[in-house]
Amino acid sequence: MIEKIKPSRSEKIIFSFVIILAIFSFGSFFLIKNKCFFVKNYNPQKMIFNDPKNIAILNITCGNVIIKLYPDISPESVKRFKKLVRSNAYDDIAFHRVIKGTLVQAGDLEFGKKGSIDYGKIGTGKSGLGTINSEIDTPFSFDRGSVGLVRAQNYNTEDSQFFILLRDEPLYESEYTPIGKVIYGLEALEKIKYLDKSQYVLRPDFINSLRMLIN
Partner 1 sequence: MYLIRVILISLFIFSQAQADTIYNLIKIPNLEIYNIKSQNKLRYLYAERPFTLGIKKNINCYNSEKNILDQKYQIIKRNLDKYSKEFLKKINLKYIVMCEDLSISKINTAGIPDHVTKTLILDIKFNENYFERVIHHEVFHIINDSFKELFNEVVWSNFNVKEFRYAECSTCTNKLGLNTNKSTKGFFTEYSESTPSEDMAEVFSHLMVGVKLNNVDPILEKKIQFIKTNLLKIDKNFIL
List residues near partner 1 by CB under 8 A.
99-100, 102-103, 169-172, 174-175, 194-199
Quote the least distance from Cβ 214 to partner 1, whole Å: 35
CB nearer to partner 1: pick between 57 and 136: 136
211 phi and psi angles, rounded to 5 deg: -135, 155
* Residue 69 · residue 133 · CB < 8 Å: no
CB nearer to partner 1: pick between 127 and 177: 177
Quote the least distance from Cβ 78 to partner 1, whole Å: 23
> Which long-range contacts (C-beta less than 8 Å, at least 24 apart) are formed by 31-40?
35/61, 35/62, 35/191, 36/61, 36/62, 36/63, 36/188, 36/191, 39/63, 39/187, 39/188, 39/191, 40/185, 40/187
Quote the least distance from Cβ 114 to partner 1, whole Å: 23
CB nearer to partner 1: pick between 48 and 171: 171
What is the Cα–Cα distance from 157 to 150, expressed in whole angstroms?
A: 8
Quote the least distance from Cβ 51 to partner 1, whole Å: 29
CB nearer to partner 1: pick between 4 and 197: 197
